[in-house]
Structure 1
Amino acid sequence: MNSYAEYIKTVIGQEPENKLLEASVLYQRSFGTIPEMTYYKTLERMSRQGSLVHLAKGLYYRPKKSRFGAIPISEKEIVGHYTSDGKGIVIGYRLYNQKELTTQISKRVEILSSAISEQKKNINNVCVTYSGVALTQDTIPVIETLEILQNYKSIEDISKSALAAYMREFALGYSDTAAVFVLKNRKYKKSTIAFLERFLNYFGVENTLCQFLSALSSYAIPEMEEFYEPARA
């Protein structure tokens, strides 16, 4: 037992400070031959002793020490764990603000990530949701746009002119293959898909989004006149 505990402490002691450690991933990677109960009891003991910090269920980190005491892991380090190397993207108000659609910002950070073993996880002010699809240069713009359109009515102080400019740029680089792939693997409201289709049709961009919609349904979505001046005869 003691030899197991000492080995666990030694290996974890080599991990960088203030780096998010996922207990289950770390166990599979480095401690597969050690009884699982022993492993988790050792993590609990290390947390009580202060050499580890238990951040959320299954998540730990080695605290960075200063002469004033332990320095808590930062929001930036948590976000980086789930978004670096193409593992995830920021959505919600951080996305809307980044795209200059609103000046509003939220303390809560929302992330879509492939680097999570469950559907959703909350870590302090950070909410991580499983992306469900590979995040690539083709799928990311589609997902970001669908997230924006799905939440359009609830985004505070949204600039319609900024959204109009954003959608014009999105339409220029639109990939129907990527959009169809995303819509087959992530759930979005029919009205959101219809909203995207309306923008694309306005710009004369060919698309097959009708396959996700019903020809018999009428969707409560804005008219393009809200964003663009009607063409003069």
Structure 2
Amino acid sequence: MKISDIVANTIDRLPTDYIFTYTDFNIDVNRKDAVVKALNRMVAAGKITKLSKGKFYKPRQSRFGALQPSAYQIAKDLLEQDGEIIGYITGYNAYSEMGLTTQIPATLQIGTNKYRRAITRGLYKISFIVQPNKITKTNIELLRILDAIRFIREIPATTPDEACKRLVIILSQLPAEKVKMLATLVLKYNPAVQALCGAMLESVGADKSLTDKIAASLNPVTEYKIPVSESVLPNKSKWRIK
């Protein structure tokens, strides 16, 4: 069978939105050039779309035209490698999923344990934040919450007060074991995040031993300038939030 036929048949079996590379084709590495040419011909014919160097996909179609792949598909090689979790989607996409904002700019933010420069894929700019905690499948939900607390001033189309209200609701709905895990994870964030998280946890009635542990990690004279009002977080002064 010709290389072009193998490529076409393989792509036919792939779902729309799935981002693939040359390695998705069961073809000898010495014939990579032929695969590249076949893919480029399919791009030119409008059968597939090139996202970035070496990355392609079959776009979903709507009445308004072709749609971009999901955030996960665009970033999946930055999230998992050889079965190991190396990153997680945070930022605007996560804030939207948490009900903190309805706005989703064409920017993906990924939490990772190592510094990386921003990159561009298709219409998306992908930026990275360094996550001080080890990233696991079980703690990603909590890391996203902590990131939202960390960047509460920067969440689009809302105010810190409104974001705080929503985060308090989210924290109140976490099971006890998740609250305990979050109270440990926050200790690796900066003191301002610890203070705001501690105040929020205290406001939802978290175990006192957990909030005491957070409070003990803070400098007893440092004040934190966070634009959350007392009407939203009545105990803010106790946590020296100004």
1:53/1:61 contact within 8 Å kept: yes
Instruction: Pick the aligned partner of 2:136 from 134, 137, 158.
Output: 134
For 2:126 and 2:215, the matched residues in 1 are separated by: 31
Please report how far the alpha carbon of residue 146 of structure 1 lies from its aligned counterpart in structure 2 after TM superposition. Answer: 1.1
Letter paired with 1:163: C
Corresponding residue SS for 1:176: helix
The 5 A counterparts of 1:1-233 are: 3-16=2-15, 18-27=16-25, 30-31=26-27, 35-63=31-59, 71-72=65-66, 74-75=67-68, 77-79=69-71, 81=73, 91-102=90-101, 105-108=103-106, 110=108, 112=110, 122-127=120-125, 133-136=135-138, 139-155=139-155, 156-158=157-159, 160=161, 163-164=164-165, 166-167=167-168, 169-171=170-172, 173=174, 174-177=178-181, 180=184, 188-201=189-202, 203=205, 205=207, 206-207=209-210, 208-209=213-214, 215=219, 218=222, 220-222=224-226, 225=230, 227-229=232-234
Corresponding residue SS for 1:153: coil
Corresponding residue SS for 2:70: helix
Between the two proteins, the alignment pairs up a number of residues equal to 212
What CA deviation, in whole Å up to 9, does each residue of 1:153-195 have, x standing for no partner?
A: 23343262562353255156343335545876xxx54432342
Letter paired with 2:193: T
Please report how far the alpha carbon of residue 110 of structure 1 lies from its aligned counterpart in structure 2 after TM superposition. Answer: 3.2
Letter paired with 1:176: K
Letter paired with 1:134: T
Identical columns (%): 15
What CA deviation, in whole Å up to 9, does each residue of 1:9-55 have, x standing for no partner?
A: 33223323x3232205514xx33555333332332232223332212
Call closer, same or farther: CA 1:147–1:80 in 2, change over 3 Å.
same
2:22/2:32 contact within 8 Å kept: no
For 2:171 and 2:234, the matched residues in 1 are separated by: 19
What TM-score, normalized by structure 1, do the two folds share?
A: 0.62
Corresponding residue SS for 2:2: helix
Unpaired stretches in structure 2, ≥5 consecutive residues: 81-86, 237-242
Corresponding residue SS for 1:31: coil
Letter paired with 2:47: S
